[in-house]
């Protein structure tokens, strides 16, 4: 870690302050009505005016509070580091679960993480409808509402409730659906809740046993991935690779190998 870099707890404090304001804005804009501002990768991959306004608010807040940091965001991409380049990069998803947001389904979140020299050290995920807020710092545990979180103790894949998600590209979805069709008879059930950051947070407190998804971007998993790993889940990809766009698996130690092996057999990281 850069010697002058702030401590993870300091970064978390800023992340929480910024994410709360961002969630308030997103909630208010939803109450005022929501419309699609544009589409991105496919016609179903929408961006609302709120996605843009909330990310802009986060960028402005971070520019004031941490002017030398850089930011990677879902809507505006990467910003250059400030003049002195602090080694800190923020990763923001202004509204994870945009389709839920569009439909008024109360399962979407602001996700904000801080990386120091490429390692995520602090993160917050806040459900903008319910106010539930998950936080973590590296080696400092994962927390919600003052309680330290521990993942599920399930050891049997056949009894496990597994969350997953689908990308926006139809060909990718077909592949993902085939994987799920093969997996679902071998687990308790599957949940597709619509917000990857929240899936990881739910896994962090055992409200699902495990989670996997292909195609996640850094902003979908940065904060939630730290929260999950600090709650005891192993967060990784296939064959010893780190979690990344090919596949994110988040599972308690006892479930990781059986889920990993099943997903490898099903070529969950393959396809388009």
Q: Which two tokens stand for residue 93?
A: 């998803």
Contact map string, positions 144 to 173, toward ligand IPD, x by CB under 6 A: ---------------------xxx------
Rounded CA gap, 201 and 229, in Å?
A: 10
Please report how close the Cβ of residue 167 comes to ligand IPD at its closest, in angstroms: 5
Sole window of 75-83, 138-146, 212-220, 224-232 interacting with ligand IPD (rule: CB under 6 A): 212-220
Burial class for 171, CB neighbours closer than 10 Å (0-12, 13-18, 19+): exposed
Q: Which residues have C-beta within 8 Å of that of residue 65, sequence separation ≥ 6?
A: 14, 17, 18
Contact map string, positions 189 to 208, toward ligand IPD, x by CB under 6 A: -----xxx------------
Rounded CA gap, 263 and 42, in Å?
A: 26
Please report how close the Cβ of residue 101 comes to ligand IPD at its closest, in angstroms: 8
Local structure of residue 188 (DSSP, 8 states): S
What is the number of the residue whose Cβ is closest to ligand IPD? 165
Note whether 215 binds ligand IPD by CB under 6 A: yes
Please report how close the Cβ of residue 162 comes to ligand IPD at its closest, in angstroms: 14
Rounded CA gap, 178 and 86, in Å?
A: 44
Task: Choose between 92 and 231: whose C-beta lies nearer to ligand IPD.
Answer: 92
CB 79 within 8 A of CB 29: no
Dihedral sign for Cα atoms in the order 247, 252, 256, 259: negative
Binder among 6, 8, 97, 237 for ligand IPD (CB under 6 A):
97
Sole window of 25-33, 80-88, 90-98, 263-271 interacting with ligand IPD (rule: CB under 6 A): 90-98
Q: Which two tokens stand for residue 226?
A: 């730290």
Please report how close the Cβ of residue 68 comes to ligand IPD at its closest, in angstroms: 27
Rounded CA gap, 83 and 64, in Å?
A: 13
Q: Say whether 68 sits in a helix, a strand or coil.
A: coil
**Helix (H) / strand (E) containing 144:** strand 141-144
Please report how close the Cβ of residue 182 comes to ligand IPD at its closest, in angstroms: 19
Binder among 55, 69, 93, 230 for ligand IPD (CB under 6 A):
93
Task: Choose between 194 and 232: whose C-beta lies nearer to ligand IPD.
Answer: 194
The residues of the shown chain that bind ligand IPD, judged by CB under 6 A, are 74, 93, 96-98, 165-167, 194-196, 213, 215-216, 220
């Amino acid at each position: 870690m850069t010697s002058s870099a702030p401590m993870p707890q300091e970064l978390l404090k800023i992340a929480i302050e910024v994410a709360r304001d961002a969630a308030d804005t997103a909630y208010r804009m939803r109450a005022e009505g929501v419309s699609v501002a544009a589409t991105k990768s496919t016609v179903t991959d929408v961006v609302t005016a709120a996605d843009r306004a909330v990310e802009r608010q986060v960028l402005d807040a971070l520019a004031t509070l941490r002017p030398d940091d850089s930011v990677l965001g879902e809507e505006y991409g990467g910003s250059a580091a400030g003049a002195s380049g602090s080694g800190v990069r923020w990763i923001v998803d202004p509204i994870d679960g945009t389709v839920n947001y569009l439909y008024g389904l109360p399962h979407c979140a602001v996700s904000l993480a801080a990386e120091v020299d490429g390692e995520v050290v602090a993160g917050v995920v806040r459900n903008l409808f319910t106010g539930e807020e998950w936080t973590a710092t590296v080696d400092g545990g994962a927390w919600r509402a003052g309680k330290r979180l521990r993942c599920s103790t399930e050891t049997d894949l056949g009894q496990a409730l597994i969350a997953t998600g689908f990308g926006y590209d139809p060909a990718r979805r077909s592949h993902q659906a085939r994987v799920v069709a093969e997996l679902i008879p071998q687990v308790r059930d599957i949940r597709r809740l619509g917000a990857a950051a929240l899936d990881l947070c739910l896994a962090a407190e055992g409200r699902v046993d495990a989670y996997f998804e292909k195609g996640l971007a850094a902003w979908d998993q940065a904060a939630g991935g730290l929260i999950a790993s600090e709650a005891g889940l192993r967060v990784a990809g296939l064959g010893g690779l780190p979690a990344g766009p090919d596949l994110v698996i988040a599972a308690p130690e006892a479930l990781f190998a059986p889920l990993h092996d099943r997903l490898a057999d099903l070529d969950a990281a393959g396809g388009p």
